Chain A
Amino acid sequence: NAGVTQTPKFQVLKTGQSMTLQCAQDMNHNSMYWYRQDPGMGLRLIYYSASEGTTDKGEVPNGYNVSRLNKREFSLRLESAAPSQTSVYFCASSVTGANTGELFFGEGSRLTVL
């Protein structure tokens, strides 16, 4: 049972380039999340999807877009990468939405924007 799988694990981009981070879960969870983690800042929510077909902004959505492709997959897209988006990105899922149970996290995707 793989849990939450993120790809790629590492990526280097130049300023202005675009890319998509992929996330898939095999636990039949309804809710999925994207966080970024920066030193000294903890985890900050970028976007979340409470259920298939819905997405909502989190604390730091600027510069990002998301797609809930189906129940399993939730992708995060950077249309024009900036150095400020250098971070470690974590995808997570939960059975249902916030306040109901734990999040299951992927291993993270380390992104560097030059």
Chain B
Amino acid sequence: GESVGLHLPTLSVQEGDNSIINCAYSNSASDYFIWYKQESGKGPQFIIDIRSNMDKRQGQRVTVLLNKTVKHLSLQIAATQPGDSAVYFCAEPSLIFGKGTTLSVSS
């Protein structure tokens, strides 16, 4: 069946490092993906999205890469800050969420 998963449940980085969070999907027909950030005790919030006609999309300090050949996408956070500590989900296409990666940033 369809699934969206993240490779690692946790990721620990130092402040200022670049972070890379990965996500694999199984439905080759998926054409739209969203990354969400969920801070402790709050609901998920939109970070960035990408459509399948793109390989890369950049936002403020975040970049999403999509590799349709291997059905993989990644979220890159530049110069990670303590405020980036949260759980990150990829979602496809709004109904199916991955299990999330917990990003911990130490200063």
The A7-21 residues at the B interface (CB cut-off 8 A) are: none
- Distance A90 CA – B93 CA, assembled complex (angstroms): 17
How many residues of A are in contact with the other chain, CB < 8 A? 26
Q: Is B17 an interface residue (CB 8 A)?
A: no
Cβ-Cβ contact count across A and B, 8 Å cutoff: 57
Contact of B89 among A33, A42, A108 (CB under 8 A): A42
Task: Pull 7 A–B residue pairs with CB atoms less than 8 Å apart, ordered by A.
Answer: A42-B97, A43-B89, A44-B97, A98-B94, A102-B46, A103-B94, A108-B42
Interface on B for A, CB 8 Å cutoff? 9, 31-32, 34, 36, 41-46, 49, 89, 91, 93-100
Residue ranges of A at the interface with B (Cβ–Cβ < 8 Å): 4, 33, 35, 40-45, 48, 58, 90, 92, 94, 97-108
Give 16 new A-B contacts, CB below 8 A, not counting A100-B32, A108-B43: A4-B43, A33-B94, A35-B97, A40-B9, A40-B99, A42-B99, A43-B97, A48-B95, A99-B32, A99-B93, A101-B49, A101-B94, A103-B46, A105-B43, A105-B44, A108-B42
